[in-house]
Amino acid sequence: ELCSANKTWVVFQVQWSSCNIFSTQDHAAAAIAKAGIPVFAWKGETDEEYLWCIEQTLYFKDGQPLNMILDDGGDLTNLVHTKYPQLLKGIRGISEETTTGVHNLYKMKANGTLKVPAINVNDSVTKSKFDNLYGCRESLIDGIKRATDVMIAGKVAVVAGYGDVGKGCAQALRSFGARVIITEIDPINALQAAMEGYEVTTMEEACKEGNIFVTTTGCTDIVQGRHFEQMKDDAIVCNIGHFDVEVDAKWLNENAVEAVNVKPQVDRYTLRNGRHIILLAEGRLVNLGCAMGHPSFVMSNSFTNQVLAQIELWTNSDKYSVGVHFLPKKLDEAVAAAHLDKLCVKLTKLSDKQAKYLGLSRDGPFKPDHYRY
């Protein structure tokens, strides 16, 4: 693939695997393979097949190992660090897409196990404030509707987490007429939710009221057995956080009286108390398992960041020590600027007098790194 930044051309040889056992769209993978790019992925992989697919991307056909990692969730990063550490010395950098994957990078840095410079793509403004917020705002409802065709208006929807993903999900559910309840651990996010008019309470309380449950936290043990037992009949439970650890699907499989696969990625469990739970995508990402994921336009923001991060790490590797870094603000703004024409946006240009008054360049960057959008 050819990419350009600041008139520097970089040639990347690419091999792909998926970041989730349900995330691959087979027709898209087939089109990529037809173009001559190796793809090791299909929708509905087992966990063992998923790991096998990732391992196939470590070496290219000529026997050369990978020298860059573009990751989504951290599984490739973890695999190389734990199982194939001999490859680390040849890797110039990692770019990571997701909140979960970035959290993993910071944990690795803190405990001394991270051995390669990494760029946190997730916290680029044009990723987290667009993909996480606006992408989830559309793809969550798409997944729930395709899976269940449930009428959302009038329902009580419980959203676990009020970060950027949770904000988008809460907005979407409210716009369809649901009464939305938020659960949160962070007092700042909880206050934000309350100021937006949402009820904020604990899962212990919310589990008794909800008809639809959406986890968005990236953490484990959000919906557990004791919560399932108190839910209303035919409560719909799904996850859009990242891994399948937020919803305790294992408890359902071990404790339900009956499990019926209604259709692909839709399972209805009968509990001992006679009530039923409808679990979507086995507790994995509902927007990928039950729908097509985010619309391509918002993903273009994220993937532009990924490409720029890869180019930055390759061409300016001397600037990046082992650790977790951010893309320069100027590049973040460039990603946004590249998408304005598609939306017919006309951008105001600072005059020389205005730029001098603000102490800025007329061409940006327009905000300091600490600015919160």
pTM for the full predicted model: 0.87
How high is the pLDDT of residue 9? 63
Around 351, how many Cα atoms within 13 Å sit in the side-chain half-sphere?
3
On whether 168 is known to bind a ligand per the annotation, the reply is yes
On whether 8 is known to bind a ligand per the annotation, the reply is no
How high is the pLDDT of residue 319? 94
On whether 283 is known to bind a ligand per the annotation, the reply is no
How high is the pLDDT of residue 10? 66
How high is the pLDDT of residue 157? 99
Residue positions counted in the chain: 373
On whether 227 is known to bind a ligand per the annotation, the reply is no
On whether 143 is known to bind a ligand per the annotation, the reply is no
On whether 47 is known to bind a ligand per the annotation, the reply is no
- Around Cβ 341, how many Cβ atoms within 10 Å? 10
On whether 164 is known to bind a ligand per the annotation, the reply is yes
Q: Kindly list the distances between the CA atom of residue 144 and the CA atoms of 38, 188, 207, 266, in Å, as whole numbers in the listed order.
A: 32, 29, 18, 10
How high is the pLDDT of residue 125? 96
On whether 167 is known to bind a ligand per the annotation, the reply is yes
Give the DSSP per-residue string, 148-190: H----TT-EEEEE--SHHHHHHHHHHHHTT-EEEEE-S-HHHH
Q: What is the dihedral of CA 120, 125, 128, 130, to 10 degrees?
A: -140
On whether 20 is known to bind a ligand per the annotation, the reply is no
On whether 289 is known to bind a ligand per the annotation, the reply is no
On whether 184 is known to bind a ligand per the annotation, the reply is yes
Amino acid at 345: V
On whether 237 is known to bind a ligand per the annotation, the reply is no
Per residue of the chain (373 residues), give pLDDT as tens: 334 444 556 678 999 999 999 999 999 999 999 999 999 999 999 999 999 999 999 999 999 999 999 999 999 999 999 999 999 999 999 999 998 999 999 999 999 999 999 999 999 999 999 999 999 999 999 999 999 999 999 999 999 999 999 999 999 999 999 999 999 999 999 999 999 999 999 999 999 999 999 999 999 999 999 999 999 999 999 999 988 999 999 999 999 999 999 999 999 999 999 999 999 999 999 999 999 999 999 999 999 999 999 999 999 999 999 999 999 999 999 999 999 999 999 999 999 999 999 999 999 999 998 898 9
Contact 277, 271 (CB under 8 A): yes
On whether 100 is known to bind a ligand per the annotation, the reply is yes
On whether 370 is known to bind a ligand per the annotation, the reply is no
Q: C-alpha 347: how far from its chain's center?
A: 29
Furthest CA-CA distance within the chain: 73
